[in-house]
Amino acid sequence: MPDSLTTIIDAKTGKQFEVPQEMILPEHLSIIDSRTGKEYPIPVTNGTIKAMDLRQIKVSAEDFGLMTYDPAFMNTASCQSRITFIDGDKGILRYRGYPIEQLAEKSSYLEVAYLVINGELPTQQQLDAWIHNITYHTMLHENIKKFMEGFTTDAHPMGMLVSTIGALSTFYPDAKKITDHESRTLQIYRLIGKVPTIAAYCYRHRLGLPYMYPDNELSYTGNFLSMMYKMTELKYKVNPVLERALDILFILHADHEQNCSANVMRSIGSSQADPFVAMAGAAAALYGPLHGGANEEVLVMLRQIGSKDKIPEFIKRVKNGETKLMGFGHRIYKNYDPRAKIIKQAADQVFEVTGRNSLLDIAIELERIALEDEYFIKRKLYPNVDFYSGIIYQAMGFPTDAFTVLFAIARTSGWLAQWQEMLLDPEQKIARPRQVFLGHDKREFVPVEMRR
Ligand code: ACO
């Protein structure tokens, strides 16, 4: 049989036919419209059908065509991506194919940032250049400092961070050249370099402490700790255990595929806005208590519980729907979040330096009780990344409301990777969902004196 022919068997008669390959449909789904009796073969590619292929399904020529309805994107892929893979049932997380456990053990945050953004692990030369370029973009324009001085001393650090990242857009008008590879790379250096400096300024502003300039001789996390905590000493002495623990936490938070804030980054970026304003939007999405704000909420919750003997009473309230067990549950993970496992190990090393935190004992007991409880088992609710990260951050001296800022520093690389991938994807256009309109039909305007 020539290569171009394929044998097909008629299921009804058992007869065999040889037909040219091009006549065979790719893997597809047959949809029969019960309204018209018409059958539509819809191609299946990578386990998905294209929503636009449904548009041909109509009852009349004026019909707009069939749409899908998917609030909160529960079952809609909005892009093709090659950055982060998650298997939520098995508890697997990989950046560009590399398991998170290996990266957390063997890599550094800046190396992972390179991997996430550029797709491959860097050679030594590439890594040195990458670190150099980011390190030499850590300083802020002095006017940014003045801008930040305008915040009240009780301003939430995330509010300050979101506004200041947005304000950077006005300092770098060249960032509008989003189709230019060199310009994009420069903005990537700037954002990864400057976000920790802004974060540290937020912290010191609230305490009324003078701003500490970056120290380019230190590592990325070492410099961040120096900008946070350096007082009168000439050189800040970084504790290597805390420096490494923070680096691991940053690695774990670098990216997490199409989460709420990544989706915002892509969505704003799709209008070709510059990366500073797009990232301000992404950081705003992260601020919410159901997303990156959860690590702050975990601490609030643990403090409210107060002691181990109050846990059963708290669990009862969760089960009654009065409150949530913060740091538990995930849209994607229906298993133990692999990041939570690594964080738990890092916690032990941190506590050896800082001394044990009583909230950790409450958290461990809370986790044990919840994991044995039918309510959580049935709903597949396990600890997520935020359950233990806050306890470590607290032990390292970070104030509770700065936790989400730490998350934002780490996620900067992921947001930028998602943004760049979106820009380079020829299938992407300005993001603009449809709606199902259920409001009023046309009606006539009623003058105010006639309204009831
Ligand atoms: N405590 C108690 N019950 C919960 C929790 C929780 N933390 N999370 C989910 N549930 C329950 C829901 O009430 C629901 O129960 P029901 O079926 O009886 O109505 C069921 O589990 C399914 O939950 P959904 O809300 O449908 O799950 P969804 O995927 O929409 O939400 C989310 C995921 C937002 C993370 C949720 O689990 C949650 O609110 N967790 C607490 C906040 C948190 O820790 N967020 C951090 C997530 S990780 C990150 O963003 C970095």
Buried b (16+ CB within 10 A) or exposed e, 219-241: bbbbbbbbbbbbeeeeebebeee
* Tokens matching residue 384: 């997520």
Using DSSP's 3-state secondary structure scheme, residue 30 falls into strand
CB 42 within 8 A of CB 49: yes
What burial letters (b/e) apply to 74-105, b meaning 16+ CB within 10 Å?
A: eeeebbebebbebeeeebebbbbebebeebbe
Ligand 1 midpoint to CA 184 (Å) = 36
Which strands form 84-87's sheet, in the order they lie side by side? Answer: 84-87, 92-95, 98-99
Residue 272 to residue 265: CA distance in whole angstroms: 11
Instruction: Give the pair of three-digit tokens for residue 370.
Output: 């919840």
Please name the residue whose Cα sits nearest to atom 26 of ligand 1.
331
The answer to whether 421 and 82 are in contact (CB under 8 A) is yes
Residues classed as catalytic? 291, 330, 386
Question: What are the φ/ψ torsions at residue 151 (nearest 5 degrees)?
Answer: -75, 150
Give how far Cα 196 sits from Cα of 2, 32, 87, 112, 145, Å. Answer: 64, 55, 31, 16, 14
Atom number, ligand 1, closest to the C-alpha of residue 337: 48
CB 395 within 8 A of CB 357: yes
> Along the 452 residues of the chain, how does pLDDT read in single tens digits?
445 677 777 777 888 878 776 666 678 899 999 999 999 999 999 999 999 999 999 999 999 999 999 999 999 999 999 999 999 999 999 999 999 999 999 999 999 999 999 999 999 999 999 999 999 999 999 999 999 999 999 999 999 999 999 999 999 999 999 999 999 999 999 999 999 999 999 999 999 999 999 999 999 999 999 999 999 999 999 999 999 999 999 999 999 999 999 999 999 999 999 999 999 999 999 999 888 888 889 999 999 999 999 999 999 999 999 999 999 999 889 988 899 889 988 888 899 999 887 898 999 999 999 999 999 999 999 999 889 898 899 999 999 989 999 999 999 999 999 999 999 999 999 999 999 999 999 999 999 999 99
Output the CA 291–ligand 1 centroid distance in Å: 10
Please give the pLDDT value at position 1.
45
The residue whose CA has the least distance to atom 3 of ligand 1 is 324
Pairwise CA distance, residues 201 & 203, whole Å: 5
The per-residue pLDDT for 25 is 63
Q: Residue 85 pairs with which residues in a beta bridge?
A: 94
Measuring CA to CA, which residue among 45, 6, 8 is closest to residue 29? 45
Nearest CA to ligand 1 atom 24: 331
Which atom of ligand 1 lies at the shortest distance from residue 379's CA? 21
| Token digits of residue 283 | 């950081």
Q: N- to C-terminal Cα distance for the chain?
A: 80
Residue 351 burial by CB count (10 A; 0-12/13-18/19+): exposed, middle or buried? Answer: middle
For residue 442 the two structure tokens come to 């046309």
User: Is 326:298 a contact under the CB 8 Å cutoff?
Assistant: yes
Helix (H, G, I), strand (E, B) or coil at 340: helix
CB 201 within 8 A of CB 141: no
Q: Whose CA is nearest to atom 38 of ligand 1?
A: 329
Cα–Cα dist 276/351, whole Å: 36
Cα 293 to Cα 322: distance, rounded to the nearest angstrom: 19
pLDDT value of position 13 = 84
Q: How far is the CA of 97 from the centre of ligand 1 (A)?
A: 28
pLDDT the model gives residue 56: 96
Instruction: Name the CA dihedral angle for 317, 318, 323, 326, rounded to a multiple of 10 degrees.
Output: 140
Q: What is the pLDDT of residue 17?
A: 78
* Residues in the ligand 1 pocket, defined by CB under 6 Å: 290-292, 294, 318, 324-331, 379, 381, 384-386
CA of 391 relative to ligand 1 center, distance in Å: 20
Distance CA 170, CA 386 (A): 33
Per-residue pLDDT, 150: 97
Among 296, 319, 381, 411, name the best residue to mutate to test ligand 1's pocket (greatest count of ligand atoms within 8 A of Cβ).
Answer: 381
Please report the beta strands in 28-108, taking only residues with DSSP state E, as ranges in sequence order. 28-32, 39-43, 84-87, 92-95, 98-99
Distance of CA 341 to the CA centre of its chain: 19
The neighbouring-strand residues paired with 31 are 40
157 vs 375: CA distance, rounded Å: 35
State the pLDDT at residue 63: 95
Classify burial at 371, counting beta carbons within 10 Å of its beta carbon; exposed 0-12, middle 13-18, buried 19 or more. Answer: middle
Neighbours of 314 (CB within 10 A): 21
Distance (Å, whole) CA 185 – CA 191: 10
